[in-house]
């Protein structure tokens, strides 16, 4: 049973860099895309981007200039960095397995951007 455990700083000031990590337990890291999705308070879901074990990356054009997704195959972990955050980046951030449809999700990390 694959499980995703995610962590990272929950409170940021404007202009700082959001940094989140997701660890994959109980399953293969290779052969899948690994994704990040976010959900602003009371709103719907927004796909941020995905990366596979070969380093192939697809990013939402609206966030592409600020987003970095990376993988650490030795630790079965993948990470998200979002630079120059503003209040509009306040959201619950989820990691998930799969590009296209996402079949395993982390529990989410609440990130608040406030001065």
- Binding site residues, another protein, CB under 8 A: 37, 44-47, 50, 58-62, 94, 99-103, 105-108
Residue 2 Cα distances to 51, 70, 100, 104, 110, angstroms? 18, 20, 18, 7, 22
CB of 65 or CB of 74, closer to another protein:
65
**Min. distance of Cβ 60 from another protein in angstroms?**
4
**Min. distance of Cβ 2 from another protein in angstroms?**
11
Count of CB atoms situated within 10 Å of the CB of 105: 17
Contact 3, 105 (CB under 8 A): no
**Min. distance of Cβ 107 from another protein in angstroms?**
6
**Min. distance of Cβ 82 from another protein in angstroms?**
15
Spatial distance between the Cα atoms of 44 and 10, rounded to a whole number of angstroms: 20
Contact 8, 109 (CB under 8 A): yes
CB of 17 or CB of 110, closer to another protein:
110
Spatial distance between the Cα atoms of 71 and 87, rounded to a whole number of angstroms: 27
CB of 39 or CB of 83, closer to another protein:
39
CB of 34 or CB of 106, closer to another protein:
106
């Amino acid at each position: 049973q694959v499980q995703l455990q995610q962590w990272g700083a929950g409170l940021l000031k404007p202009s700082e860099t959001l940094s989140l990590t997701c660890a994959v337990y109980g399953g293969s890291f290779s052969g899948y895309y690994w994704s990040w999705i976010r959900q602003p308070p009371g709103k719907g879901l927004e796909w941020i981007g995905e990366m596979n074990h070969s380093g192939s990356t697809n990013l939402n054009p609206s966030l592409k200039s600020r987003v970095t997704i990376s993988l650490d195959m030795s630790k079965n972990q993948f990470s998200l960095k979002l630079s120059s955050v503003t209040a509009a980046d306040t959201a619950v951030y989820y990691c998930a397995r799969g590009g296209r449809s996402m079949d395993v999700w982390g529990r989410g990390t609440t990130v608040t951007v406030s001065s």
